[in-house]
Amino acid sequence: MVLVNGAIVAIGSVITIDIEEGKTVSLLKERIQKMKSRTIECEPDDLRLFLAKTESGAWLPSTAIKLRSGDTTPEVYELLKNEEINPTNVVGDLFGSAPTEMTIRALVEVPTTFVSNKRARLEEFEDVPRIDTKDATYVTLPGRLLEVCGFSSNDDMMLYCRPRVHELWRFLTDEVVGLKSRGVIVGPLVP
């Protein structure tokens, strides 16, 4: 048996899977998807696995708090540029001799369209300023919010709000976020 510690990139989860050495990476993907089925809603084949080995040959430390909180460090981004592990590779050949304590041996990348929103993410971004529209014609999005949302600019961004934006914003805050439900806005925004 091989113990594989894996970090699910951008979700903030570290998993440990005990799998037979002769099993393939494809079967490892199935075990990962099954173990995290409430968080990962895609087929196992859609998961992408990467070795969590740095250029120096060292495995990523499991103490990397940023991985466990869902942050993706520059070091992890570099590892995700490497070649994806072939699903037909044998688990024992990849991870058999690797140390098991205090290391991450695999990075699991989930397609963003298949990441479940079943757990609240608000507590992770407490230091992000709130947006107050107050029926304004222009709204400024703080640079910190843009950074958390993945935009490369840390500068504030001013947006023009069409008249119906406030109605839609109230729907999102009151009916979707307020009631912890899922909301969908469909169709063109016609004044």
pLDDT 10s digits, 28-43: 999 999 998 888 888 8
Q: Which of 114, 137, 169 is the last residue of a domain?
A: 114
Domain assignment of residue 28, given as a range? 2-114
The predicted structure's pLDDT at residue 67: 65
The predicted structure's pLDDT at residue 120: 41
Q: Which of 11-20, 44-53, 118-127, 148-157 has the lowest mean pLDDT?
A: 118-127
For residue 123, pLDDT over 50 is answered with no
Partners of 15 in beta bridges: 6
Backbone angles phi, psi at 111, to 5 degrees: -55, 135
Residues 107 and 128 in one domain: no
The predicted structure's pLDDT at residue 31: 94
Q: Which of 186, 184, 188 is nearest to 172 (CA)?
A: 184
Residues 106 and 51 in one domain: yes
Q: What is the mean pLDDT of the chain?
A: 78
Residues 79 and 130 in one domain: no
Q: What is the pLDDT of residues 129-172, one digit of tens each?
A: 667 777 788 888 888 777 777 777 778 888 888 878 778 877 77
Which comes out higher in pLDDT, residue 113 or 135?
A: 135
The rounded distance, in Å, linking the Cα atoms of 182 and 167 is: 17
Q: What is the pLDDT of residues 73-87, one digit of tens each?
A: 677 777 888 889 999
The rounded distance, in Å, linking the Cα atoms of 78 and 107 is: 11
Q: What's 81's domain CATH number?
A: 3.10.20.90
Q: Which of 19, 17, 7 is nearest to 52 (CA)?
A: 7
59 falls within a domain: yes
The predicted structure's pLDDT at residue 121: 43
The rounded distance, in Å, linking the Cα atoms of 183 and 117 is: 12
pTM of the model: 0.56
